Structure 1
Amino acid sequence: MDLDATLILLGAGLLAGAMNAAAGGGSFITIPAMVFVGLPSIAANASSTVALLPGTLASAWAWRRDYRALHGIPFRIMLLISFLGGLAGALLLLATTSRAFDRLLPWLMLVGTLAFAFGRPLGAALRQRVRIGRGAVLGAQVLLSVYAGYFGGGVGIMMLAAWGLLGDLDIKAMSALRTILVSAANFVAVLCFALAGPVHWPATGIMLVAAIIGGYLGAILASRMPAPVLRGFVIVFSAAMTAAFFWRAWA
């Protein structure tokens, strides 16, 4: 790997780690960076998931004292769904052809960008009008866990929006639950990607180390910069990347 590619991956890993620690949306940085340095899109997606996993696991550990059951739904059930859904999503990705994923990737990025930009206000608006049962939440969790294993952009916000339809939430407890369930889906997906071989390990190793450093710096940044500014940066950047990938796929 040449020096230019290494510097791009280092910079993307630092920025993605900082974004995940401060506001989320790191995969909107890592996947385009890996594609830019020459990785096929499926390998870029798989490698990005591996590179960002240590950060999500560290966040899950940091939240460990705040986990709560979701309105009477046992934690072990949600965890099992997340493991199995992440596995299904990873296997689905491995079964997707590179050509098909190149066409699908910009749509996935668009969904993730819209979820990141509007998921919270939309969830709050729906909570005022809609209430659903635990069965519907479990069904949504299955779909979101598959999405997490397949791509995962914005999935944490999607989970919070779906869970909010049960009723009032303890946002701290739900943030903790979201973190561990997303980590579970990503963990099993990483195992599949590592065994099946689409991971580009040199690029992944560079980005993984940079993302860990970026995560530490991002936690410091988050304490000093207003959250709306950070979220605004993520939304603008991910929208630009989504447009670029649409152009790449269809031009």
Structure 2
Amino acid sequence: MDATTLALLIGAGLVGGACNAVAGGGTFFTFPALLAAGVPPVAANATSAISIWPGHATSLFGYREELRRHAGRLKSAAPAFVLGSLIGAWLLSVTGNGLFRQLIPWLLLAATVLFAIGPRLRSWIAPTGSGTLPKPVIFLIDLLVAIYGGYFGAGLGILLMAVLTLIGLSDVNEANAVKNALATIVSSLAVAVFIVTGIIAWGPGAAVLAGAVAGGYLGARFARWINPRILRAIIIAVGLGLSWIYF
């Protein structure tokens, strides 16, 4: 690996880790960088997941107060996210590169649209104003999101923010904290599957990892100072950008 490639991968990890902590979509930086380094698409996605995993985890230190307030939501969501992330990671390990490429832009676009219309859609689903969906529906939504996250991490943060909007968590910074915790569950279990199945490119992944560790914590601290409306606009813009690039 030459110096230019090394710098590219470290920089991608730094920006990707920060982006995931703030608005999601960090794989927009890490996945293309790994492809540019010569890693095949499926392996690049798995390597991106293991590289940015610490960014999700370290960002939680910046959200300790918010996580304590939403401990109940995290506990109730854990079973669906554990099961779904394992299913999604296994599916990636047996998927060919051709099908993988075809699904990416559609999944990203759907997640972005859902986030953009989330508040209005929640009002339509829960007209009584309670903002609470039935538990089986929440479990199914969580399971599908986790399968997506285990299969392909790009846009997971956007999709999680959309789901949290649908269940009534309207404050963006509060939702951002819960999003990072749930993303940590998904990425941790997916990484375990990728290691077992042997589809990680360890050399390039270590370079991205070095940047992602710092990026996750810095991003969480920066997110506190962003106006919620601006943060929502950033999330939507990142999602549309991801969709356009992959299309």
TM-score (norm 1): 0.80
Question: Once the 2 structures are TM-superposed, how far is the Cα of residue 203 of structure 1 from its aligned partner?
Answer: 0.7
Larger mean Cα displacement after TM superposition, 213-222 or 11-20: 213-222
Q: In the alignment, residue 183 of structure 1 is paired with which amino acid?
A: T
User: Does 1:184 find its partner at 2:179?
Assistant: no
* Mapping of residues 1-251 of structure 1, within 5 Å: 1-61=1-61, 62-63=63-64, 64-70=67-73, 75-112=74-111, 114-115=112-113, 119=115, 121-131=116-126, 132-167=133-168, 174-219=175-220, 221-222=222-223, 239-240=240-241, 242-246=243-247
Question: Once the 2 structures are TM-superposed, how far is the Cα of residue 228 of structure 1 from its aligned partner?
Answer: 6.3
Partner SS, residue 125 of structure 2? coil
CA distance in 1, matches of 2:234, 2:171: 27
Root mean square deviation, CA, Å: 2.9
**1:32/1:168 Cα in 2 relative to 1: closer, same or farther (>3 Å)?**
closer
Question: Once the 2 structures are TM-superposed, how far is the Cα of residue 172 of structure 1 from its aligned partner?
Answer: 5.9
CA distance in 2, matches of 1:157, 1:233: 10
TM-score (norm 2): 0.81
Question: Once the 2 structures are TM-superposed, how far is the Cα of residue 241 of structure 1 from its aligned partner?
Answer: 5.3
Q: In the alignment, residue 204 of structure 1 is paired with which amino acid?
A: G
CA distance in 1, matches of 2:170, 2:238: 30
Larger mean Cα displacement after TM superposition, 221-230 or 7-16: 221-230
Identity in percent: 34
CA distance in 2, matches of 1:22, 1:168: 16
Structure 1 contact 86–189 (Cα < 8 Å) conserved: yes
Structure 1 contact 149–186 (Cα < 8 Å) conserved: yes
Question: Once the 2 structures are TM-superposed, how far is the Cα of residue 101 of structure 1 from its aligned partner?
Answer: 1.4
Unaligned runs of 5+ in 2: 127-132
Larger mean Cα displacement after TM superposition, 50-59 or 148-157: 148-157
